[in-house]
Amino acid sequence: MNRYPLRALLLSSLPLLGLTLATADEMHHHGSHVHGEVILNLALEGVTLIAEIEATGAQVLGFEQAPRDPAERAAVAAAEIWFRSGREMIGVPTAAGCRLTASAFTPPKIGSGHVDFRGRYTFTCTDPAALAWAEPWALRRMQGVEKTEVNIIVPGVQRQEILRETAGRIALR
């Protein structure tokens, strides 16, 4: 079972319009390791908002080799705590009443070649109709981000956007 299916779902959206997020979990994801690129997947179904973030170790840590000194070991520990917590990953309108209810993150094996950080964050929103936008707060902490691929699946909207800047709002409608 793949934990990061939203990109595959979006890219295959026409035949999959009737799928629920639970069904989407069974799909396969074929991401690629590209330095300078971050992938942000956003999906809303009912009161549940799911955000998935994928980034290379180079973007999250500034390196991908095994930590060589205390500062690099501290950077790895801080990044793992951040990704595990799900805090400061995305921002949404306060009026939507979204609360982080689950996060999924498995630390990558650093020093074993390419390193990818992947997190999945589930929010429950009291007023999902107020979700007019999202802000990719995670990009503020990353380094060398040249492009962010944003895949959006919300009621009535399925699209992909490419961001060239690390801040700003992404329209969800």
Structure tokens belonging to residue 139: 């990009």
How confident is the model at residue 54, as a pLDDT?
97
pTM attached to this predicted model: 0.81
Q: What is the pLDDT of residues 93-126, one digit of tens each?
A: 999 999 999 999 999 988 877 899 999 999 999 9
Helical spans, DSSP H, in 43-110:
57-60, 70-85
Nearby residues of 78 by Cβ (< 8 Å), 6 or more positions away: none
Cα-based distances in Å from 80 to 26, 60, 116: 26, 10, 12
Angle, alpha carbons 158-159-160 (nearest 5°): 150
Q: What is the pLDDT of residues 19-69, one digit of tens each?
A: 344 433 333 344 567 788 999 999 999 999 999 999 999 999 999 899 999
Q: Is the pLDDT of residue 10 over 50?
A: no
- Domain ranges for the chain, please list them: 32-171
- Report the mean per-residue pLDDT for the chain: 84
Cα-based distances in Å from 10 to 6, 44, 52, 88, 132: 6, 12, 13, 24, 19
